[in-house]
Amino acid sequence: MSLEFLGISPSDELVYRHFLRNPGASAHSVDPAVLERLVALRLLEVDQAGRVAAAGPHSAMDQLIERRMDEFSGELRRVTAVLPSLLAEHAAGEPIELVERIKGMEQIQHRIWQVSTGAKEVMAMHPVRKRVDPRVRERTLSDLRDGVQYRTIVHRSTLDDPEVAAYFREIHRAGDRHRVIDEPIQLLLVFDRETAFVPLEPDDPPAGALMIRQPGIVVTLIDLFEQVWRRATDLEPDTADPSPVEKQVLDLLNRLGKDEVAARAMGVSVRTFRGYVADLMARLGAGNRFQIGARAKERGWI
Protein backbone atom coordinates (compact mmCIF):
# COMPACT_ATOMS: atom_id res chain seq x y z
CA MET A 1 0.00 0.00 0.00
CA SER A 2 1.27 3.48 -0.87
CA LEU A 3 0.96 6.78 1.00
CA GLU A 4 -0.95 8.38 -1.87
CA PHE A 5 -4.22 8.18 0.07
CA LEU A 6 -2.56 10.44 2.68
CA GLY A 7 -1.61 13.04 0.09
CA ILE A 8 1.96 11.91 -0.70
CA SER A 9 2.73 11.38 -4.38
CA PRO A 10 4.44 8.12 -5.41
CA SER A 11 7.62 9.99 -6.38
CA ASP A 12 7.78 11.82 -3.03
CA GLU A 13 7.14 8.56 -1.21
CA LEU A 14 10.11 6.95 -2.98
CA VAL A 15 12.37 9.75 -1.72
CA TYR A 16 11.07 9.36 1.84
CA ARG A 17 11.57 5.60 1.72
CA HIS A 18 15.09 6.07 0.37
CA PHE A 19 16.14 8.17 3.36
CA LEU A 20 14.28 5.86 5.71
CA ARG A 21 16.56 3.07 4.51
CA ASN A 22 19.65 5.28 4.31
CA PRO A 23 19.74 7.61 7.34
CA GLY A 24 22.35 10.32 7.03
CA ALA A 25 22.53 10.14 3.22
CA SER A 26 23.23 13.34 1.30
CA ALA A 27 20.42 15.56 0.03
CA HIS A 28 22.39 16.84 -2.95
CA SER A 29 20.98 14.36 -5.48
CA VAL A 30 17.35 15.05 -4.56
CA ASP A 31 15.06 17.48 -6.38
CA PRO A 32 14.97 20.56 -4.07
CA ALA A 33 11.21 20.93 -4.59
CA VAL A 34 10.60 17.35 -3.40
CA LEU A 35 12.93 17.87 -0.45
CA GLU A 36 11.16 21.09 0.50
CA ARG A 37 7.76 19.39 0.44
CA LEU A 38 8.91 16.49 2.61
CA VAL A 39 10.66 18.79 5.08
CA ALA A 40 7.50 20.93 5.32
CA LEU A 41 5.58 17.76 6.16
CA ARG A 42 8.22 16.94 8.80
CA LEU A 43 8.94 13.62 7.09
CA LEU A 44 12.55 14.67 6.52
CA GLU A 45 15.07 16.89 8.28
CA VAL A 46 18.25 18.23 6.71
CA ASP A 47 21.21 19.30 8.83
CA GLN A 48 23.75 22.00 7.95
CA ALA A 49 26.03 19.46 6.29
CA GLY A 50 23.24 18.41 3.93
CA ARG A 51 22.64 15.04 5.59
CA VAL A 52 19.05 13.86 5.70
CA ALA A 53 17.19 12.11 8.52
CA ALA A 54 13.77 10.58 7.94
CA ALA A 55 11.01 10.62 10.54
CA GLY A 56 10.26 7.18 11.94
CA PRO A 57 7.36 5.29 10.35
CA HIS A 58 5.06 5.70 13.37
CA SER A 59 5.76 9.41 13.64
CA ALA A 60 5.39 9.91 9.88
CA MET A 61 2.08 8.07 9.74
CA ASP A 62 0.69 9.96 12.73
CA GLN A 63 1.62 13.30 11.17
CA LEU A 64 0.20 12.40 7.75
CA ILE A 65 -3.03 11.07 9.26
CA GLU A 66 -3.45 14.18 11.41
CA ARG A 67 -2.82 16.39 8.37
CA ARG A 68 -5.38 14.45 6.34
CA MET A 69 -7.86 14.71 9.22
CA ASP A 70 -7.36 18.49 9.28
CA GLU A 71 -8.04 18.62 5.55
CA PHE A 72 -11.09 16.41 5.97
CA SER A 73 -12.38 18.66 8.76
CA GLY A 74 -12.07 21.64 6.42
CA GLU A 75 -14.00 19.79 3.71
CA LEU A 76 -16.63 18.77 6.25
CA ARG A 77 -17.01 22.40 7.38
CA ARG A 78 -17.71 23.38 3.79
CA VAL A 79 -20.48 20.79 3.60
CA THR A 80 -22.07 21.51 6.99
CA ALA A 81 -21.81 25.30 6.52
CA VAL A 82 -24.89 25.12 4.30
CA LEU A 83 -27.02 23.74 7.17
CA PRO A 84 -27.90 27.11 8.83
CA SER A 85 -29.36 28.51 5.61
CA LEU A 86 -31.36 25.31 5.03
CA LEU A 87 -32.76 25.49 8.57
CA ALA A 88 -33.58 29.19 8.17
CA GLU A 89 -35.46 28.57 4.93
CA HIS A 90 -37.26 25.60 6.49
CA ALA A 91 -38.39 27.78 9.42
CA ALA A 92 -39.34 30.76 7.29
CA GLY A 93 -40.98 28.82 4.49
CA GLU A 94 -39.35 31.10 1.93
CA PRO A 95 -35.90 31.83 0.45
CA ILE A 96 -33.48 33.62 2.78
CA GLU A 97 -31.36 36.40 1.33
CA LEU A 98 -27.81 35.07 1.67
CA VAL A 99 -26.00 38.32 0.80
CA GLU A 100 -27.73 41.38 2.23
CA ARG A 101 -26.78 44.99 1.60
CA ILE A 102 -27.07 47.23 4.68
CA LYS A 103 -26.89 51.03 4.45
CA GLY A 104 -26.12 53.48 7.24
CA MET A 105 -23.90 53.12 10.26
CA GLU A 106 -26.80 52.80 12.69
CA GLN A 107 -28.35 49.93 10.73
CA ILE A 108 -24.97 48.20 10.36
CA GLN A 109 -24.31 48.35 14.10
CA HIS A 110 -27.83 47.11 14.84
CA ARG A 111 -27.44 44.06 12.58
CA ILE A 112 -23.97 43.24 13.93
CA TRP A 113 -25.28 43.52 17.50
CA GLN A 114 -28.23 41.33 16.60
CA VAL A 115 -26.14 38.60 14.94
CA SER A 116 -23.46 38.65 17.64
CA THR A 117 -25.97 38.02 20.44
CA GLY A 118 -25.51 34.43 21.53
CA ALA A 119 -22.52 33.82 19.24
CA LYS A 120 -19.93 31.34 20.54
CA GLU A 121 -17.04 32.19 18.21
CA VAL A 122 -15.97 35.54 16.78
CA MET A 123 -13.20 36.30 14.25
CA ALA A 124 -12.31 39.90 13.44
CA MET A 125 -9.82 41.88 11.35
CA HIS A 126 -9.36 45.61 11.98
CA PRO A 127 -7.25 47.65 9.53
CA VAL A 128 -8.13 50.89 11.36
CA ARG A 129 -9.41 51.65 14.86
CA LYS A 130 -9.73 55.29 15.86
CA ARG A 131 -11.81 55.04 19.01
CA VAL A 132 -12.96 52.65 21.70
CA ASP A 133 -16.71 52.09 22.00
CA PRO A 134 -17.53 51.51 25.72
CA ARG A 135 -20.53 49.34 24.78
CA VAL A 136 -18.37 47.05 22.63
CA ARG A 137 -15.76 46.86 25.37
CA GLU A 138 -18.31 45.79 28.01
CA ARG A 139 -19.98 43.35 25.62
CA THR A 140 -16.64 41.76 24.69
CA LEU A 141 -15.50 41.39 28.30
CA SER A 142 -18.87 39.92 29.24
CA ASP A 143 -18.73 37.45 26.33
CA LEU A 144 -15.22 36.39 27.30
CA ARG A 145 -16.35 35.71 30.86
CA ASP A 146 -19.13 33.55 29.39
CA GLY A 147 -16.66 31.49 27.37
CA VAL A 148 -17.09 33.01 23.91
CA GLN A 149 -14.00 32.40 21.77
CA TYR A 150 -12.59 35.58 20.22
CA ARG A 151 -9.66 35.99 17.82
CA THR A 152 -8.73 39.38 16.45
CA ILE A 153 -6.15 40.56 13.90
CA VAL A 154 -5.21 44.25 13.96
CA HIS A 155 -2.97 46.31 11.72
CA ARG A 156 0.13 47.55 13.51
CA SER A 157 -0.80 51.18 12.82
CA THR A 158 -3.81 50.82 15.15
CA LEU A 159 -1.37 50.61 18.07
CA ASP A 160 -0.19 54.17 17.43
CA ASP A 161 -3.17 55.46 19.42
CA PRO A 162 -2.40 54.85 23.13
CA GLU A 163 -6.08 54.50 24.08
CA VAL A 164 -6.78 51.95 21.35
CA ALA A 165 -3.55 50.05 22.12
CA ALA A 166 -4.47 49.90 25.82
CA TYR A 167 -7.94 48.60 24.92
CA PHE A 168 -6.52 45.86 22.69
CA ARG A 169 -4.13 44.75 25.43
CA GLU A 170 -6.91 44.74 28.03
CA ILE A 171 -9.20 42.42 26.08
CA HIS A 172 -6.24 40.39 24.81
CA ARG A 173 -5.31 39.60 28.41
CA ALA A 174 -8.98 38.84 29.14
CA GLY A 175 -8.96 36.14 26.45
CA ASP A 176 -9.60 37.83 23.08
CA ARG A 177 -6.42 36.61 21.40
CA HIS A 178 -4.94 39.45 19.35
CA ARG A 179 -2.35 39.21 16.61
CA VAL A 180 -0.67 42.10 14.80
CA ILE A 181 0.24 42.34 11.13
CA ASP A 182 2.08 44.92 9.01
CA GLU A 183 0.58 44.04 5.62
CA PRO A 184 -2.70 45.64 4.46
CA ILE A 185 -5.89 43.93 5.66
CA GLN A 186 -9.60 44.57 5.19
CA LEU A 187 -12.31 44.95 7.82
CA LEU A 188 -13.96 41.59 8.50
CA LEU A 189 -16.26 40.12 11.15
CA VAL A 190 -17.32 36.46 11.24
CA PHE A 191 -19.75 35.02 13.78
CA ASP A 192 -20.01 31.29 14.49
CA ARG A 193 -18.53 30.52 11.05
CA GLU A 194 -21.99 31.23 9.63
CA THR A 195 -22.37 34.98 9.14
CA ALA A 196 -19.78 37.48 7.92
CA PHE A 197 -19.76 41.28 7.59
CA VAL A 198 -17.55 43.18 5.14
CA PRO A 199 -17.67 46.86 4.09
CA LEU A 200 -19.58 47.74 0.95
CA GLU A 201 -16.73 50.12 0.09
CA PRO A 202 -13.32 48.95 1.45
CA ASP A 203 -12.10 52.49 2.17
CA ASP A 204 -15.42 53.79 3.54
CA PRO A 205 -16.97 51.38 6.12
CA PRO A 206 -19.74 53.85 7.20
CA ALA A 207 -21.07 53.82 3.63
CA GLY A 208 -22.55 50.39 4.05
CA ALA A 209 -21.89 46.71 4.65
CA LEU A 210 -22.64 43.30 3.22
CA MET A 211 -24.04 40.70 5.62
CA ILE A 212 -23.08 37.36 4.10
CA ARG A 213 -24.62 33.99 4.93
CA GLN A 214 -23.80 32.26 1.65
CA PRO A 215 -21.76 29.23 2.85
CA GLY A 216 -19.19 29.24 0.04
CA ILE A 217 -18.33 32.91 0.58
CA VAL A 218 -18.24 32.58 4.38
CA VAL A 219 -15.88 29.59 4.24
CA THR A 220 -13.62 31.48 1.81
CA LEU A 221 -13.50 34.48 4.18
CA ILE A 222 -12.68 32.15 7.10
CA ASP A 223 -9.83 30.61 5.10
CA LEU A 224 -8.54 34.14 4.39
CA PHE A 225 -8.69 34.97 8.10
CA GLU A 226 -6.77 31.80 9.01
CA GLN A 227 -4.04 32.55 6.45
CA VAL A 228 -3.56 36.07 7.82
CA TRP A 229 -3.68 34.72 11.40
CA ARG A 230 -0.78 32.36 10.67
CA ARG A 231 1.32 35.21 9.27
CA ALA A 232 0.55 37.62 12.11
CA THR A 233 2.45 37.87 15.40
CA ASP A 234 1.12 37.82 18.94
CA LEU A 235 0.21 41.21 20.43
CA GLU A 236 2.30 40.40 23.51
CA PRO A 237 4.84 37.78 22.43
CA ASP A 238 6.00 35.30 25.04
CA THR A 239 9.79 35.51 24.71
CA ALA A 240 10.69 33.30 27.68
CA ASP A 241 12.75 30.18 27.02
CA PRO A 242 10.94 26.83 26.95
CA SER A 243 10.52 25.10 30.29
CA PRO A 244 12.14 21.67 30.88
CA VAL A 245 8.72 20.06 30.37
CA GLU A 246 8.21 21.90 27.08
CA LYS A 247 11.66 20.84 25.88
CA GLN A 248 10.90 17.24 26.74
CA VAL A 249 7.52 17.35 24.98
CA LEU A 250 9.12 18.82 21.85
CA ASP A 251 11.77 16.12 21.86
CA LEU A 252 9.24 13.31 22.33
CA LEU A 253 6.94 14.68 19.61
CA ASN A 254 9.87 14.80 17.23
CA ARG A 255 11.25 11.35 18.05
CA LEU A 256 8.27 9.21 18.96
CA GLY A 257 5.14 10.76 17.50
CA LYS A 258 2.51 8.54 19.13
CA ASP A 259 0.98 10.08 22.26
CA GLU A 260 0.79 6.75 24.05
CA VAL A 261 4.49 6.01 23.51
CA ALA A 262 5.55 9.57 24.34
CA ALA A 263 3.45 9.63 27.52
CA ARG A 264 4.97 6.33 28.64
CA ALA A 265 8.49 7.66 27.99
CA MET A 266 7.66 10.77 30.00
CA GLY A 267 6.07 8.82 32.82
CA VAL A 268 2.68 10.55 32.63
CA SER A 269 -0.82 9.62 31.47
CA VAL A 270 -1.83 10.11 27.84
CA ARG A 271 -4.33 12.74 28.97
CA THR A 272 -1.63 14.69 30.82
CA PHE A 273 0.73 14.47 27.84
CA ARG A 274 -1.95 15.75 25.49
CA GLY A 275 -2.56 18.61 27.90
CA TYR A 276 1.14 19.50 27.67
CA VAL A 277 0.89 19.43 23.87
CA ALA A 278 -2.19 21.67 23.89
CA ASP A 279 -0.44 24.17 26.20
CA LEU A 280 2.60 24.13 23.92
CA MET A 281 0.45 24.76 20.84
CA ALA A 282 -1.23 27.70 22.56
CA ARG A 283 2.08 29.23 23.64
CA LEU A 284 3.61 28.85 20.18
CA GLY A 285 0.46 30.04 18.42
CA ALA A 286 0.38 26.79 16.43
CA GLY A 287 -2.88 25.99 14.70
CA ASN A 288 -2.17 22.25 14.76
CA ARG A 289 0.55 19.76 15.69
CA PHE A 290 2.26 20.10 12.33
CA GLN A 291 3.06 23.72 13.13
CA ILE A 292 4.63 23.03 16.55
CA GLY A 293 8.02 22.09 15.14
CA ALA A 294 8.10 25.00 12.70
CA ARG A 295 7.12 27.55 15.36
CA ALA A 296 9.63 26.09 17.83
CA LYS A 297 12.38 26.38 15.21
CA GLU A 298 11.40 30.00 14.52
CA ARG A 299 12.03 30.73 18.22
CA GLY A 300 15.29 28.80 18.27
CA TRP A 301 13.94 26.20 20.70
CA ILE A 302 15.02 23.28 18.52
- Domain enclosing residue 200, as ranges: 97-234
pLDDT digits (tens, 9 = 90+) for 133-174: 888 899 899 988 888 889 999 999 999 889 999 999 999 888
The CATH number that applies at residue 208 is: 3.30.870.10
Q: Tell me what pLDDT residue 268 has.
A: 84
What three-state secondary structure class fits 43? coil
pLDDT digits (tens, 9 = 90+) for 223-246: 999 989 888 888 877 667 788 888
The answer for residues whose C-beta is within 8 angstroms of residue 285's C-beta and 6 or more apart is: 179, 234, 295
How many domains, the chain? 3
Report how far residue 112's alpha carbon sits from residue 105's, in angstroms, rounded to the nearest whole number: 11
Mean predicted confidence (pLDDT) in 290-295: 77
Report how far residue 205's alpha carbon sits from residue 286's, in angstroms, rounded to the nearest whole number: 32
pLDDT tier, 287 (very low <50, low <70, confident <90, very high otherwise): low
Residue 84 lies in a domain: no
Closest CA to 125 of 219, 199, 213, 175: 199
**Is residue 225 domain-shared with residue 192, that is, in the same domain?**
yes
SS (H, E, C) 167-225: HHHHHHHHCCEEEEECCCCCCEEEECCCEEEEECCCCCHHHCEEEECCHHHHHHHHHHH
Of the residues 234, 261, 286, the one at which a domain ends: 234
**Is residue 64 domain-shared with residue 112, that is, in the same domain?**
no
Residue 88 lies in a domain: no
**Is residue 156 domain-shared with residue 250, that is, in the same domain?**
no
Q: Tell me what pLDDT residue 93 has.
A: 67
Of the residues 212, 234, 256, the one at which a domain ends: 234
The CATH number that applies at residue 257 is: 1.10.10.10
pLDDT digits (tens, 9 = 90+) for 98-143: 888 898 888 898 889 888 888 889 999 999 877 888 888 998 999 8
Beta 52-54 vs 233-234: how paired, if at all? unpaired
Residue 92 lies in a domain: no
**Is residue 127 domain-shared with residue 230, that is, in the same domain?**
yes
Q: Tell me what pLDDT residue 155 has.
A: 93
Residue 54 lies in a domain: yes
Phi, psi angles (nearest 5°) of residue 265? -65, -30
**Is residue 36 domain-shared with residue 135, that is, in the same domain?**
no
